[in-house]
Chain A
Amino acid sequence: MKPADAPVDKSRRAFLAGSGFMVSFALFGSWRALAGETNTLGATILAPDLPGDLKIDPILDSWIKIDAQGVTVCSGKVELGTGVRTALWQIAADQLAMPLDKFKFVTADTALTPDEGYTAGSHSMADGGTAIYHAAIQVRQMLLEAAAAKLGVPTKSLMLRDGIILSGDGRQMTYEEAAQGVNLHQQAKSVSPQGDPSAYRYIGHSIPRVDIPAKVTGGTAYVQDLRLDGMLHARVVRPPNASAQLKEIDTRAIETMRGVVKVVRDGNFLAVLAEHEWEAIQAMRALRERAQWQLTQTYPTNDTIHAVLKTLPERLYVTTRENNGPVKQVLSNASAASISAPASPTRSLAMTKQYVLHGSIGPSCAVAVFRNDMLTVWTHSQGVFPLRAGIAELLGLPKENVRCIHAEGAGCYGHNGADDAACDAAVLAYRTPNRPVRVQWMRDQEAGWEPLGPAMLTEINAVTDAHGKLQSWHHALWSTPHNSRIVNAGRLIPATLLAHPAAPASPAPIPQPEGDADRNAVPLYRIPSVRVDMHFVTDMPFRTSAMRSLGAYINVTTIEGMMDDLAEQFGEDPVAYRLQHLDDPRARDVIQRAANRFGWNLATPLPEGHGIGFAFSQYKNLMGYCAIALEVKLDKAARSVRIVRVVAAVDCGQIVSPDGLTNQIEGGIVQSSSWTLYEQALVGENGVQSVDWSSYPIARFPHIPAAIEVELIDRPGAPFLGAAEIAQAPTAAALINAIKRVVGWRPLHLPVARQDSPIFA
């Protein structure tokens, strides 16, 4: 092990990626980071012994600033529509013992806030929330001690009320007064004073979200709503696919169109800037009509993609777990062919998933201005710091001369077009000094150019004893990367289109235990021998990146399908069969709570066409627990599947906002049912063919479950865990398990309920 302060210039991920030899390291339940390493969200660990994201920024006044104007709490995490801003604010309020409206809360601005990497992977509460939880109470304690000294009384005699320090003799002091002379520019301690949960006014309470009033009344709420003085409207024209080359184009007729300020062409990068938005759109359309592209490559289709994935260049990552001990992951130099599945499995199950779109309702947008050598970008990126580094690299500017400020966009659900649109705005603003530039992608551009959620194949072979007890488990999967985040300029689409393009960094998976395509591929169930082969396909026919729950979505669907099938084979109830293989009391709890509330009983007669399904997972095997029980109704004549009723039981540790948590689970269930029933990005020889909501249909109101019930299990004192990604995988699994009970066979290819689906035959 390296000493804590030794500089390390290679991340664990880079190390894994670059090595062609067998490398091996053990991963224990709680993976301990080393100083200098990069965490899975792209932030650098400085102080491994501190709680949460204090690890990556250990200095107290990075988080909490106090000046004459009052208290400001800073977070590098951003609101993505999950309510996390309010939840983090709640934590700060209770730990500072201040009312919510008595202090400012600033998020994700490279000039003001700590660098917490990406807001992703359900880490915001666990890492960001934990950092604020500790920083706030440590600062509060320092203020109390300072006030005690100033007032000449013991610290213990002081009370806190509404952000005022009260002494028994009637004197009082504001935090600002107490803070004078206190140095908050110091490292946080690894142990914090105990808070008093009984005094919490916010944590554990459903506080109305702070962002909602503006959103329901037409306030300025989104980056799309920014209107800066002198702002130009820009539109880009994208190639028909990523490999197309722009032949000559005559732009003179477009430059003279009404309102057009200029046309920018640089290699395959094409854009137009105009005074008004509609003028920019008309010019974009004219430009698109004139642009002639040379198509240089043909692409796999929806029918061929899964066969193609097995033939592309790959790296093989093998994860094993022996006797339910820690998981171990190695990058194997063995060729895929030399690894075989168990010779005589009790059961086998293979599934496929098509490419999917994040499909934000609002296509990506950004505003940028280049003024006095400073480039400022307003963006709905999930990671303003990595984005800044990418833009600075591309434009050859020092990082200090680029500032990225988060402003909300529509929900992104992972890596969508946000960063690329921000880069478009940056490139255009840099060439148009002193005029703010607003770039708004069109719907077809978002659909055609967002990174896709990867197509995947999974194959499980399980071996049991004669009574159905699991003995060994082999899970093989094929996928392109789930993490093409911005680690260099070349990961930004505009950078790849310029005449002097930047090359994307080579792909590297998020290692176990969090996992990438192999997220959740190791079952939580008790099995003496588990092996997961991740065929990490490095050659991406289509750019793919993170979409909520990553590989967990299909891995859990396959695992939970296998559990159901084995239960059936051995005449066991599927819920009981799962419990027989589970030791973790919190896992057992969510399963029992969901089953009880649902009234799980396979013997209960159901109407014709109805079926029930059950599934469970603990997200990443180390985050929130979620069990789902649901009933579906399949109508062959109407070619429809509807969820009649769904019950979720969840455990996300200590609950900060019960209603916020419920909202996330409800959303996850609806979103996953849409993915599972309907969604596949159409791909064909010329690239992505889904360009709108008719070529990429998603669930509409008539398709939404009739009843969604969410049961919350609170764990006071346990670490905060994220909620936005925990319901997707078990929902999909339960849905497929229920459909199997209706049709009598297991649908193996997602999505399952498109109009031509065999389940309606």
Chain B
Amino acid sequence: MINLNVNGQTQPLEVTPETPLLYALRDHLKLNGAKYGCGMGQCGACTVLVDGRPVFSCLFPVSSVGTREVRTLESLGTTERPGPLQQAFIDHQAVQCGYCIAGMIMRAQALLEQVARPTEQQIREHMAPNLCRCGTHKRILAAIRQVADKGQRLNAGALKERA
């Protein structure tokens, strides 16, 4: 039994310690936000935040999470009330198949919580671990810039405030 703090709630899970966080989130907590892409830390589809840092959940054992807070795409908003970055992706229609997008949003969220107004090059370098096969990059960059250009760091506690 392992206690995991996910999206502001601590939950006991029947998983073995080496279980990658990805499967705890998807299979046990039934969250769709983190996607399986490669299982090898090469594509970023599975990106979630652990204490505000982007991690590859496909490689991150649940036992290493400890009491740190895990945040997934679901923490940023809902279809009815999307968060600022989610809204920017909708505004720019920054999706083709969308399979990579959950990971893209989470990695961008981490940057925008840290840096108020990242440059284009900063954004591109920060996003480099995440792959998109559809070629949606230009729109993904535009969506991130829409939020970045507001010049304010994103609020890490957005979920709790809305709740």
- By a beta-carbon cutoff of 8 Å, the part of chain A in contact with chain B is 80-83, 206, 208-209, 211-222, 224-225, 227, 233, 258, 276-278, 281, 359-363, 408-411, 413, 440, 442-443, 659-660, 663-664, 666-671, 674, 692-694, 698-702, 704-705, 708
Contacts and interface: CB of A to CB of B under 8 A. Distances in A.
22 contacts: A208-B90, A216-B89, A216-B105, A217-B74, A224-B36, A278-B15, A363-B37, A443-B37, A443-B38, A443-B39, A443-B40, A443-B42, A666-B135, A666-B138, A667-B136, A670-B135, A670-B137, A700-B128, A700-B131, A701-B137, A701-B141, A704-B141
B39 A413 contact: no
A693 B42 contact: yes
B27 A409 contact: no
Nearest to A211: B98
B124 interface: yes
Interface centre among A281, A408, A440, A443, by most B CB within 10 Å? A443
Nearest to A227: B30
Contact of A217 (B36, B38, B78, B96): B78
B27 A218 contact: no
A212 B27 contact: no
A698 B15 CA distance: 35
A interface secondary structure, majority? loop
B102 interface: yes
A212 B95 CA distance: 7
Contact of A216 (B16, B27, B101, B128): B101
A211 B98 CA distance: 9
A659 B138 CA distance: 13
A-B residue pairs, 10 tightest by C-beta: A81-B97, A670-B135, A411-B97, A410-B99, A215-B98, A667-B135, A218-B33, A693-B42, A278-B23, A443-B38
A116 to B, nearest CB: 20
B32 interface: yes
B90 A663 contact: no
B133 A209 contact: no
A213 B97 contact: no
Interface residues on B, range: 35 or more
Contacts of B9: none
B99 to A, nearest CB: 4
A442 B136 CA distance: 24
B96 A219 contact: no
A255 to B, nearest CB: 18
B97 A80 contact: yes
A410 B90 contact: no
Contact of B27 (A277, A666, A702): A277
B26 interface: yes
B99 A442 contact: no
A47 to B, nearest CB: 33
B73 A362 contact: no
B153 interface: no
A680 to B, nearest CB: 16
Given A227-B30, A361-B133, A666-B138, A408 B38 contact: no
A216 B86 contact: yes
A735 B110 CA distance: 35
A735 B47 CA distance: 33
A215 B101 contact: yes
Contacts of B89: 212, 216
Contact of A220 (B32, B97, B131, B139): B32
A278 B19 contact: yes
B96 A215 contact: no
B127 A701 contact: yes
Nearest to A82: B96
Contacts of B76: 217
Given A227-B30, A668-B135, A671-B134, A217 B43 contact: no
B74 to A, nearest CB: 4
A591 B96 CA distance: 27
A361 B79 contact: no
Given A278-B23, A361-B133, A413-B133, 4 more contacts: A218-B32, A219-B79, A362-B35, A408-B97
Interface string B83-112: 000100110010111111110010000000
B134 A81 contact: yes
B52 interface: no
B42 to A, nearest CB: 4
B138 A221 contact: no
Given A80-B97, A212-B95, A278 B27 contact: yes
B102 A218 contact: yes
B95 A702 contact: no
Nearest to B135: A670
Interface in B105-154: 105, 123-125, 127-139, 141
Contacts of B43: 361, 693
A227 B23 CA distance: 13
A362 B69 CA distance: 26
Nearest to A278: B23
Contacts of A276: 23, 27-28
B111 to A, nearest CB: 12
Nearest to B126: A701
A408 B89 CA distance: 19
Nearest to A691: B40
A134 to B, nearest CB: 28
Nearest to B99: A410
Contact of B133 (A83, A360, A668, A705): A360
Interface string B1-41: 00000000000000110011001001110111101111110
A410 B77 CA distance: 22
A701 B124 contact: yes
A261 to B, nearest CB: 15
Contacts of B86: 216-217
Nearest to B143: A216
A485 to B, nearest CB: 20
Contacts of A674: 135
Contacts of B99: 81, 222, 360-362, 409-411
A553 B19 CA distance: 43
A442 B40 CA distance: 10
B36 A708 contact: no
B72 to A, nearest CB: 7
B32 A692 contact: no
A692 B79 contact: no
Contact of A277 (B23, B33, B42, B129): B23
Contact of B35 (A224, A660, A694, A700): A224
A250 B95 CA distance: 46
Contacts of A212: 89-90, 93, 95, 98
